[in-house]
Amino acid sequence: MCLFICIYFVFSFINKIRREYNFRKTPRISESPNARTKELSWEKANSPENQQEINKVREELAREKANISKYQLEIRKVKDELSREKANNSTNRLEIYKVKEKLSSEKVNSNSKKLKLENEELLEWRVKCEERETRRAKKYNAILGGKESAEEGQAQLQRQLKETNVQMQKMRERLLQCNCKDASETATLQTITLQFQTEIFKMKKNNTRLHDHIKALTSNVDITSEENKNLRQQLETVRNQAKISLVEKERQLCDVLFRIEEEHSNHIEEVTKSQIEHQN
């Protein structure tokens, strides 16, 4: 661009110099009263003094023409280079166009691939969303079923609570009855045991008295006589019978005590079971 501007200024300067030279060289005759003065000025211009200056100007013009020819050669070279660059630019444009077409085709292919992938992802997401919706529906139905089952369970629990309350009331009544029976039975058993103990005490007393009486009789009676032997045998039989009766009474007392303990343990087990059921 700067080269073109320089060439333009050079051509304008050359044209200006040519105009001045032609104006000075060609004489002009006008019909005005000042024509003579103009001719005189022309003659002065053609004087030998001015010829030297004209020659200098001509030499400068020749130099400028040579420079102009050089510039024209350079301009031609520049034009050739520009034409080459234009050709190269055209080829480059074709290559660029081809590359752009390739890029556009690749972009289209990549976009189509991306669209396919996005469509596949969208389908997957839709399938996942549908699965989630079905799961949510199942969960919602399960929650509704759970609520219904919970309500039914609550109703059943309330029924069971009512039944357990009734059973607890019955158990309490049974406990009271058992306690009353236990108290009466323990009282009767205690009276029976006292009776047995008194009888055993009496029998032991009688047995000791018999022993003392037998000792007194044996100490006073002669052992050698047959009557005394018979009496002694009778006393021994009485003594053995008293021992046997005492043993039987003791055995009966032990049986009664064992029965009392069994009934007491059974009563304790029933009471503990009723307490556990009451707590549950």
27/45 Cα distance (integer angstroms): 11
DSSP letter (8 states) at residue 84: H
Q: What is the pLDDT of residue 29?
A: 44
- Give the per-residue pLDDT at 206: 67
- For residue 139, pLDDT beyond 50: yes
- Does residue 233 surpass a pLDDT of 50? yes
Tens of pLDDT, residues 169-226: 777 787 677 667 766 766 776 777 677 677 767 766 766 766 666 666 556 555 555 6
Confidence at 28, pLDDT banded by 50, 70, 90: very low
pTM, two decimals, is: 0.28
- Domain boundaries defined on the chain: 2-25+40-106, 171-279
- Sign of the CA dihedral running 8, 12, 13, 14: positive
The closest alpha carbon to 267, from 255, 277, 278, 259, belongs to 259
Architecture of domain 171-279: Orthogonal Bundle (1.10)
pLDDT, average across residues 275-279: 70
Contact between residue 249 and residue 203 where contact means Cβ atoms under 8 Å apart: yes
> Is 32's pLDDT higher than 60?
no
Q: Cα 193 from chain centroid?
A: 76
Rounded (5°) CA angle 181-197-262: 40
State residue 98's pLDDT score.
81
Mean pLDDT lowest among 34-48, 127-141, 217-231: 34-48
